[in-house]
Chains A and B, each alone.
Chain A
Amino acid sequence: AQTVTQSQPEMSVQEAETVTLSCTYDTSENNYYLFWYKQPPSRQMILVIRQEAYKQQNATENRFSVNFQKAAKSFSLKISDSQLGDTAMYFCAFMKRVWETSGSRLTFGEGTQLTVNP
Chain B
Amino acid sequence: DAGVIQSPRHEVTEMGQEVTLRCKPISGHNSLFWYRQTMMRGLELLIYFNNNVPIDDSGMPEDRFSAKMPNASFSTLKIQPSEPRDSAVYFCASSRSGNTIYFGEGSWLTVV
Interface SS of chain A: loop
A50 in the interface, Cβ–Cβ < 8 Å? yes
Number of interface residues of A (CB under 8 A): 24
Interface residues of B in 67-105 (CB under 8 A from A): 89, 91, 93, 95, 97-98, 100-103, 105
Whether the pair A103, B55 counts as a contact (CB closer than 8 A) is: yes
Using CB atoms, name the residue of chain A closest to B108: A43
B51 in the interface, Cβ–Cβ < 8 Å? yes
A64 in the interface, Cβ–Cβ < 8 Å? no
Whether the pair B50, A110 counts as a contact (CB closer than 8 A) is: no
Number of interface residues of B (CB under 8 A): 26
Q: How far is the CB of A84 from chain B (nearest CB, A)?
A: 21
In the assembled complex, 11 residue pairs joining A and B whose CB atoms fall closer than 8 Å, in A order, are A42-B105, A43-B108, A45-B93, A47-B100, A101-B51, A101-B98, A104-B31, A104-B95, A105-B33, A105-B48, A106-B101
A75 in the interface, Cβ–Cβ < 8 Å? no
Whether the pair B50, A101 counts as a contact (CB closer than 8 A) is: yes
Interface contacts beyond A101-B30, A102-B55, A103-B55: sample of 11 additional A-B pairs, CB < 8 Å, sorted by A: A91-B43, A98-B98, A101-B50, A101-B97, A102-B50, A103-B95, A103-B97, A105-B45, A105-B56, A106-B45, A108-B42
Interface residues of A in 4-56 (CB under 8 A from B): 33, 35, 37, 42-47, 50
B89 in complex: contacting residue of A43, A46, A99, CB < 8 Å: A43
A78 in the interface, Cβ–Cβ < 8 Å? no
Whether the pair B30, A103 counts as a contact (CB closer than 8 A) is: yes
Whether the pair A103, B98 counts as a contact (CB closer than 8 A) is: yes
Residues of A within 8 A of B30 (CB): 101, 103
Residues of A within 8 A of B103 (CB): 37, 44-46
